[in-house]
Amino acid sequence: MSIIELSEMSKPELLKLQKDVAKAIDGFDERAKQEALAALDAKAKELGFSLAELTGAKKPKSVNPPKYRNPANPDQTWTGRGRQPQWIKDAIKDGKDLSAFEI
């Protein structure tokens, strides 16, 4: 490892060095985490488990895709589950069929 003479560096050089050091530290931490996870995963497999089983990690909830879209405002959608949005209620009230809003 080389010795850096900080007192001989300009401010822009020092700032760049500071940025480079911060990036190197972040990279080191990320590598250390990955190595730790790999070691834990290997040990869990050795014992016949998955790491998720041992940590109690839950599967992420699946998101239901929208089934209905408001033609007046395409940003408004509804999955068909739960309470009907007001724009659906208004359309049904006006005599429109729900199937007209299917995506």
What are the tens digits of pLDDT across the range 6-58?
Answer: 999 999 999 999 999 999 999 999 999 999 999 999 999 999 998 888 888 77
Please report the pLDDT score of residue 16 as a whole number: 96
Residue 55, both tokens: 């940590």
Which of 82, 90, 65 lies closest to 100 in space, CA to CA?
90
Instruction: State yes or no: pLDDT of 62 exceeds 90.
Output: no
* Predicted confidence band of residue 1 (pLDDT cuts 50, 70, 90): low
Residue 5, both tokens: 């003479």
Q: Hey, which bits of 1-101 come out as E strands? A: 68-70, 73-78
Instruction: State yes or no: pLDDT of 2 exceeds 80.
Output: no
State mean pLDDT over 53-71.
Answer: 83
